[in-house]
């Protein structure tokens, strides 16, 4: 479903000069899977996901979503993706229904079908009691639900959650995770980025640990645990980070083990074939 190969993104920045935010990142996510991007703030998670949602353009490398290229076929990619981020706010002067309908209409959905779909989504997400409430009057939890409804309105096969639990209270965050899980169960392909270890542990099928724009290691939680001999994810995370810092040119070392591990566990060849054939259909 999602196929990221050798993705690099660099910016120029006053403090750091030319700054590589994402450095040769590769990963794949299949349907019915939650892929967790774990990393501290500034690790490059948001940049990866913004490129995935075609908001930013990659400096080099390719990103394909269900076979569509993010650079050459951005509108097709966007029709396949629902993007929920801490940065994707909702309009203050629109009601929940208007907001969700607006994005449904942008996706080219027919009016009567859209109304039905909105009703169903609002029912499922329990949003009916604030359907006509303007964005400025909503609580954080309500806003989050509107964002999710907005991302789900066109029933995309791929969903991207970028730090979506940031700033939510415990109840709302827990509800969000439940929604994410149920989406996985319905066969969606999900990417979930966060810096909260416990969320990853509870939720994600596979994890990529990002640091300074690079993926240090990737695999299922169990694979990572056994590969690094650490039981808790937190210890594992910091062990990886400190090893990375200790290696002067740590990237090569890790890339080798990384890709080997990746190929072993996920069978890179087959999955990429699958993606290509899917896209060409």
Q: Give the residues lining the site for other proteins (CB under 8 A).
A: 12-15, 17-18, 50, 53-57, 74-76, 78-79, 81, 83, 85, 87-94, 102-103, 105-110, 113, 117, 120, 124-126, 147, 150, 152, 154-155, 175, 178-179, 182-183, 185-188
Q: Which is nearer to other proteins, 171 or 246 (CB)?
A: 171
Q: Which is nearer to other proteins, 84 or 275 (CB)?
A: 84
Q: Which is nearer to other proteins, 126 or 273 (CB)?
A: 126
Q: Which is nearer to other proteins, 78 or 195 (CB)?
A: 78
CB of 147 to other proteins, least distance (A): 8
CB of 150 to other proteins, least distance (A): 7
Q: Which is nearer to other proteins, 1 or 233 (CB)?
A: 1
CB of 55 to other proteins, least distance (A): 5
CB of 197 to other proteins, least distance (A): 23
CB of 107 to other proteins, least distance (A): 5
CB of 237 to other proteins, least distance (A): 26
Q: Which is nearer to other proteins, 74 or 250 (CB)?
A: 74
Q: Which is nearer to other proteins, 10 or 272 (CB)?
A: 10
Burial of 260 (0-12, 13-18, 19+ CB in 10 A): exposed
CB of 94 to other proteins, least distance (A): 7
3-state SS, one letter per residue, for the chain: CEEEEEEEEEEEECCCEEEEEEEEEEEEECCCEEEEEEECCCCCHHHHHHHHCCCCCCCEEEEEECCEECCCCHHHHHHHEEEEECCCCCCCCCEHHHHHHHHHHHCCCCHHHHHHHHHHHHHHCCCHHHCCCEHHHCCHHHHHHHHHHHHHCCCCCEEEEECCCCCCCHHHHHHHHHHHHHHHHCCCEEEEEECCHHHHHHHCCEEEEEECCEEEEEECHHHHHHHHCCCCHHHHHHHHHHHHHHCCCHHHHHHHHHHHHHHHHHCHHHHHHHHHHHHHC
Q: Are strands 33-39 and 189-194 parallel, antiparallel or unpaired?
A: parallel
């Amino acid at each position: 479903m999602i196929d990221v190969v050798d993705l690099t993104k660099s910016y120029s920045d006053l403090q750091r000069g030319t700054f590589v935010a994402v450095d040769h990142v590769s990963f794949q996510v299949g349907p019915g899977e939650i892929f967790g991007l774990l990393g501290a703030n500034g690790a490059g998670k948001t940049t990866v996901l913004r490129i995935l949602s075609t908001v930013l353009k990659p400096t080099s490398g390719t990103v394909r979503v269900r076979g569509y290229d993010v650079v050459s076929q951005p509108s097709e990619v966007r029709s396949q993706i629902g993007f929920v981020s801490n940065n994707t706010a909702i309009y203050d002067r629109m009601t929940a229904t208007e907001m969700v309908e607006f994005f449904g209409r942008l996706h080219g959905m027919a009016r009567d079908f859209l109304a039905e779909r909105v009703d169903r989504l609002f029912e499922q997400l329990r949003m009916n009691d604030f359907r006509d409430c303007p964005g400025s009057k909503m609580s954080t939890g309500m806003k989050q639900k509107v964002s999710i409804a907005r991302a789900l309105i066109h029933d995309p096969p791929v969903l991207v959650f970028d730090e979506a639990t940031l700033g939510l209270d415990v109840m709302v965050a827990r509800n969000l995770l439940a929604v994410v899980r149920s989406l996985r169960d319905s066969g969606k392909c999900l990417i979930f980025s966060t810096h909260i270890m416990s969320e990853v542990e509870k939720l994600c099928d596979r994890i990529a640990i990002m640091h300074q724009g690079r993926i240090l290691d990737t695999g299922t939680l169990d694979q990572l645990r056994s590969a690094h001999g650490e039981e808790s994810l937190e210890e594992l995370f910091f062990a990886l980070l400190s090893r990375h810092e200790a290696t002067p040119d740590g990237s090569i070392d890790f890339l080798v083990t990384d890709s080997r591990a990746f190929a072993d566990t996920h069978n890179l060849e087959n999955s990429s074939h699958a993606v290509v054939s899917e896209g060409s259909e």
